[in-house]
Amino acid sequence: MTIKEAQDIVDKWIKQYGVRYFNELTNMAILTEEVGEVARIMARTYGEQSSKTTDASKQLADELADVLWVLICIANQTGINLTEALENNIKKKTERDCRRHLENSKLK
C-alpha cells in the first residue's frame, strides 16, 4: 500500500465508521497518547524497565500502527499530502546531513 492509498483508506473509514474526524487538538492528544504506548513497550522490551502483567497483550507493531493511523488522520484533516511531505523531508535531510553522519566519529 502506498502512503496515498493509506490516506485514502483512513479517510474512507473515518467517513464510513467514524462519523467524522476528531478535531485537530483532540487528534494531537491521541497521537501523544499512542506515542506514549510505544514508549512503554520500548522501555520494557529494549530498555531496563520491567514489564507488568498488563503489558503482555501490548504489541509494538499494533501500537506503531495506532501512531500511524492518528498521524494520517491529522494529515488528512489539515490537507497534507504525506507522500509529498516525506519526499520533501528526505530531500531536506539529504541536503543538510549528507556529510554530518559520515563524519561523526561517534558512529564509527
Q: What is the CATH number of domain 3-107?
A: 1.10.287.1080
Q: Residue with C-alpha cell 559520515? A: 102
The closest of 71, 68, 73, 82 to 17, measured between CA atoms, is 73
Give the percent of the chain with pLDDT over 70: 100
Q: Residue with C-alpha cell 519526499? A: 87
Higher pLDDT, 73 or 54: 73
- Residue 87 has a pLDDT of 98
33/22 Cα distance (integer angstroms): 15
- Please report the beta strands in 1-108, taking only residues with DSSP state E, as ranges in sequence order: none
CA pseudo-torsion sign 69, 25, 89, 76? positive
Q: What is the pLDDT of residues 80-98, one digit of tens each?
A: 999 999 999 999 999 999 8
pLDDT at 51 over 90: no
Q: What is the pLDDT of residues 2-34, one digit of tens each?
A: 999 999 999 999 999 999 999 999 999 999 999
